[in-house]
Structure 1
């Protein structure tokens, strides 16, 4: 799970976003493999079940004997999700390392009692949904053009003692992003928002489908918006780290010397100090094998994307990080990256594991589901 938090300069806004994202490097390397499997229920094979690789546009359907195949995959950890009407969706994590993998699924039917729970009227549902929508989709300009088509499948619970709003859905959320031109199926496994601490956590499995633009003008707008969402994103940054082209990708990295620890009360009057000497990318990573690298550092990293500028909405979001004390810097998007584990393993696609090993603040934390792109995007760079 990637953990994302906003700026320490915000008074009360400490948001923690947890996204379940699996490594998926597409077939552009020497060694390629496949994931095969079978889907069944208590009665036997399930032809026609939908299977997809989470975070991508890769999707297929089971054949007449319930079998499926994803070919041309390189080593990595993949999230495989199965869906069929009348059954509970099921997801599994699959690691491909040096050989093809077979994984089987057994689906459970949706019971009448479960359906009754989903449609049961809930107190303050509209209020809870407004909170969910804001936190889940985000507050960027793209979020205003992003709509959840089937919100009524969501059900919420508010714990008055802990001030935590929980949300869940037994079916896929269908999200239409008119800003980026994607239709997203999102299997939400967990959502929690603490109103006292403003801490947000959610987990899920997204699948992307290209929408068809009505005009060339719309297609061009989608491409511009996608490019803007991609550059400066976590995936864009980690791909630059992996490829060793951090500066040419638009980033400068510095060590933060006095960043408060997670959970500490933010002090907006306390400036950030950083080491004026840029961090060399080679000092952050070492090669694990032909497909993976290890990212490790001791201090917080202050990351400046000098090619991209902050959006006007960022200042009011609680995520904005002001320029630190310690030297003159050009304008740009500012983020802080913290390592929560001794190290994380990254791949060429910009994914990392353990997914809970990195915490992002500032601009990289601000972009949420409304700015999410499939992992295929930007691979041609």
Structure 2
């Protein structure tokens, strides 16, 4: 069985060259009449079209992979469909439900709090990349922003598609923000979206710059890595896959014990006031120092792992799985580390670093290198820091180098 899996995967680079067609018809679910001028696109790609007067649509040059097909039209609910594109898809007919909610004109009044929330939102959405300075939201009035003071969270969604220009990569993004949350308590970040990429028009010099920046954004990315894993070319592409072992630190007491001890000795300290001054309490200092001890200890195994042993085929055509012990420690050796990670091992090489920790048994991804189970893992390092400013369409292919 293992040999047959490797044989199938060895054929993958040839299989991926195929370009597919997705076609069908958009109709009204209420009266079965065709819906004209509906927007149909594969999220996170450059592939999109609109339906004709008879409701028919056709999308060509679709790379094999797992996609979310998004259909939207004025007066109808947005439709999302999980599409496994492994062969030509015909007669994909979709019924749109009329919506009873009328779109209202959105007017933003000058508001200091909204401006502060908007600035924070842009920082989170675009990320720390230098490319963020060249990104602009053209219609911010489509944003619904809320700062939850009780839970210290920034929440957002968009009423309609945000129009975002990325002048660093040369794309215009039609970006529907379904859900966004930045929790400042645990430093977590989550957002759910659908997006269609459109190439910006520019001079030849601008296009050369955009192509160069796109290549740079792709190199070392998670998509680059997972594609390299499928093609058995991780080392050739500049990646090293190591194993990071993390364990609870046996020298550190539990948070509950530290909290209980500090509370106890604070009461003791308060009870021993002398002339209005609190007497120093060595025990309180001791337990405060205990809280500064790292919760985990970690060991980096510097012998590279063979990713073929981590890769598995699934029962879904075009979908693959990675499984591994402990944490996956991925180095991209052609770039220096630019992220400010405070928890790197002492023997960590100075290369672009990403850490993957599984919360599910497997990490699933398709032939484009796109992860399917977004809640099944946690990224740290470079891959965690990447945001919209570095976002490429999943059907992006770097130019092939001439021999």
What TM-score do the two structures reach when normalised by structure 1?
0.80
Are 1:143 and 2:132 matched, yes or no? yes
Change (3 A) 1:267 1:153: farther
**Using the alignment, how far apart are the partners of 2:206 and 2:248 within structure 1?**
44
Q: Secondary structure at the match of 2:246?
A: coil
What whole-Å deviation, never above 9, does each CA across 1:125-164 have from its counterpart, x for those lacking one? Answer: 1111111111011121000000111111101223232222
**Equivalent residue of 2:181, what SS?**
strand
Which of 287, 290, 306 is residue 313 of structure 2 equivalent to? 287
Contact map agreement 1:149 1:174 (CA 8 A) in 2? yes
RMSD: 3.1
C-alpha distance in 2, partners of 1:226/1:174?
20
Displacement of 1:47 after TM fit? 1.1
Equivalent residue for 1:158, pick from 147, 170, 192: 147
Q: Are positions 1:251 and 2:277 aligned together?
A: no
With over 3 angstroms needed to count, the CA separation of the structure-2 counterparts of 1:146 and 1:109, relative to structure 1, is: same
> Does 1:307 find its partner at 2:334?
yes
Give runs of ≥4 in structure 1 deviating > 6 Å. Answer: 264-271
Query: Cα 1:153–1:333, aligned 2, differ >3 Å: closer, same or farther?
Result: same
Q: Which moved more, 1:224-233 or 1:290-299?
A: 290-299
The change in CA–CA distance for 1:287 and 1:91 in structure 2 (over 3 A counts) is closer
State the SS of the aligned residue for 1:136.
Answer: helix
2:25–2:34 Cα contact (<8 Å) kept: no
Task: Indicate which of 169, 182, 190 corresponds to 1:193.
Answer: 182
| Match in the other structure for 1:376 | 395
Alpha-carbon shift at residue 98 of structure 1 (Å): 6.5
Pick closer, same or farther for the CA change 1:87–1:32 going to 2, 3 Å.
closer
Residue of structure 1 in register with 2:266 after alignment: none
Q: Which moved more, 1:252-261 or 1:264-273?
A: 264-273
Cα distance change on mapping 1:127 and 1:31 into 2, 3 Å: closer
Write the distance in 2 (CA, Å) between the matches of 1:93 and 1:307. 35
| Alpha-carbon distance change, 285 to 212 in structure 1, aligned in 2, over 3 angstroms | same
Q: Provide the residue aligned with 1:296 in structure 2.
A: 323
Q: CA separation in 2, counterparts of 1:370 and 1:349?
A: 20
User: Which whole-Å deviations, capped at 9, do the CAs of 1:21-61 have from their partners, x for residues lacking one?
Assistant: xxxx9984569563423143656322122211111110111
Unpaired segments of 5 or more residues in structure 2? 1-12, 250-254, 256-290
The answer to whether the aligner puts 1:359 opposite 2:378 as a matched pair is: yes
Higher alpha-carbon deviation: 180-189 or 282-291: 282-291
The residue aligned with 1:17 is none
Bigger share in helix: 2
Counting matched residue pairs gives: 344
TM value normalised by structure 2: 0.76
Alignment pair present for 1:209 and 2:228: no
1:163 and 1:269, CA in 2 relative to 1: closer, same or farther beyond 3 A? closer
